[in-house]
């Protein structure tokens, strides 16, 4: 399940790695193989017969870079260029022509970039990106054992109030109320008085992330969650109110609501692989039937 999702990320990383290599190679060759100063060009560095020109530095500086930062960026680039040229000269002197033949690798890189770019084009143009709730639920039920929580998660209502917030007795009553009709009154109060708040009984949160918002140290999340429902805390500036509606502990089956985005990504990733494989097979069969392919026996 998760392997396919990781493979797509891996392919994407290969693509960008290849792109960087080819781009870097292009810049490198452009800036290092000019044999002599060009007419009208201002050289900023030379290593033997290779020159670096002022025009080669234009791409380095983002808009609104300060003069001091610009000078530092240029200085570092020029020094790195010089070091690279020196090392390149050593390599050219010591490597055989056989060891410097990279045409095949460059062609393979180029082909990989073209293929990957076209695969992305096919995905953008033809991939069905609609994933229904039924499809999410079906996938979850079939693969429920694969969804195990790595973090404790909670459903909570959480409110952070200034110490001078008004009508605390009324707020406490609303905060503890199980009447859905009073939820609107609670939200109205929070909108007017709370520093921050989260009123949503359907959304799962990672317990550790919630703790970062609270002046609270918990040694055992399991014991704390089992023992607490309504919690009120305070520090020098705020009061914190938490209503623990539900919780799930590390190692238990992760709820569908918590895994929805992950499952959607997995389903879409499968569709991407299926679409690409289908297109590869389709083009292959069309090429065979159109006599575009010949395989010669040795």
CATH number, domain containing residue 165: 3.10.50
Same domain, 102 and 164: no
Same domain, 28 and 107: yes
User: Which residue, 248, 274, 289, sits at the end of a domain?
Assistant: 248
Q: How far apart are CA 168 and CA 187, in angstroms?
A: 14
User: Which residues contact residue 31 at a Cβ distance below 8 angstroms, ignoring those fewer than 6 apart?
Assistant: 52, 53, 56, 81
Establish if 170 belongs to a structural domain: yes
pLDDT, residue 35, reads 52
Considering its fold, how many domains does the chain have in total?
2
Establish if 286 belongs to a structural domain: no
Give the angle 202-269-125 at the CA atoms, nearest 5°: 110
pLDDT, residue 39, reads 59
Same domain, 153 and 230: yes
Alpha helices in the chain (DSSP H): 2-32, 67-94, 103-126, 133-142, 168-176, 183-193, 207-211, 221-227, 256-289
Same domain, 29 and 82: yes
Establish if 188 belongs to a structural domain: yes
User: Which residues contact residue 89 at a Cβ distance below 8 angstroms, ignoring those fewer than 6 apart?
Assistant: 47, 48
Same domain, 173 and 220: yes
User: Which residue, 60, 87, 111, sits at the end of a domain?
Assistant: 111
pLDDT, residue 298, reads 64
Classify residue 211 by burial, with Cβ atoms within 10 Å: 0-12, 13-18, 19+: middle
Establish if 279 belongs to a structural domain: no
Same domain, 159 and 221: yes
Domain range for residue 74? 2-111
Establish if 171 belongs to a structural domain: yes
pLDDT, residue 21, reads 45
Establish if 125 belongs to a structural domain: no
Q: Whole-angstrom distance between the N-terminal and C-terminal Cα of the chain?
A: 42
Establish if 261 belongs to a structural domain: no
Same domain, 156 and 241: yes
Same domain, 94 and 14: yes
Which residues of the chain fall short of a pLDDT of 70? 1-40, 298
Same domain, 107 and 7: yes
User: Which residue, 111, 138, 169, sits at the end of a domain?
Assistant: 111
Is the Cβ–Cβ distance between 85 and 50 less than 8 Å?
yes
Establish if 176 belongs to a structural domain: yes
Same domain, 34 and 96: yes
Same domain, 96 and 154: no
Same domain, 18 and 107: yes
> Which tokens sit at 41?
């060009």
Classify residue 237 by burial, with Cβ atoms within 10 Å: 0-12, 13-18, 19+: exposed
């Amino acid at each position: 399940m998760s392997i396919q999702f990781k493979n797509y990320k891996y392919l994407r990383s290969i693509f960008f790695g290849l792109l960087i290599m080819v781009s870097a190679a292009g810049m490198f060759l452009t800036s290092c193989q000019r044999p002599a100063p060009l007419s009208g060009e201002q050289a900023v560095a030379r290593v033997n017969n290779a020159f670096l020109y002022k025009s080669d530095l234009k791409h380095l500086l983002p808009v609104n870079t300060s003069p001091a930062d610009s000078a530092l960026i240029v200085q570092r680039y020029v020094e790195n260029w010089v070091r690279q040229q020196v090392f390149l000269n050593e390599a050219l002197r010591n490597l055989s022509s056989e060891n410097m033949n990279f045409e095949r690798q460059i062609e393979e890189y180029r082909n990989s970039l073209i293929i990957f770019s076209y695969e992305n084009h096919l995905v953008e143009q033809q991939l069905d990106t609609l994933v229904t709730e039924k499809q999410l639920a079906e996938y979850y039920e079939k693969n429920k054992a694969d969804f195990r929580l790595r973090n404790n998660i909670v459903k909570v209502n959480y409110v952070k109030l200034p110490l001078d917030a008004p009508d605390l007795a009324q707020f406490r009553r609303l905060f503890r109320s199980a009447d859905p009709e009073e939820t609107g009154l609670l939200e109205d109060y929070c909108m007017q008085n709370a520093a921050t708040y989260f009123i949503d009984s359907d959304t799962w949160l990672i317990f550790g992330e919630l703790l970062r918002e609270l002046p609270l140290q918990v040694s055992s999340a399991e014991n704390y969650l089992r023992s607490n429902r309504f919690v009120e805390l305070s520090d020098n500036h705020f009061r914190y109110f938490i209503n623990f509606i539900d919780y799930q502990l590390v190692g238990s089956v992760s709820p569908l609501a918590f895994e929805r985005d992950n499952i959607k990504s997995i389903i879409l990733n499968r569709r991407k692989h299926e679409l690409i494989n289908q297109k590869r097979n389709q083009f292959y069969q069309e090429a065979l039937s159109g006599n575009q392919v010949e395989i010669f026996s040795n």
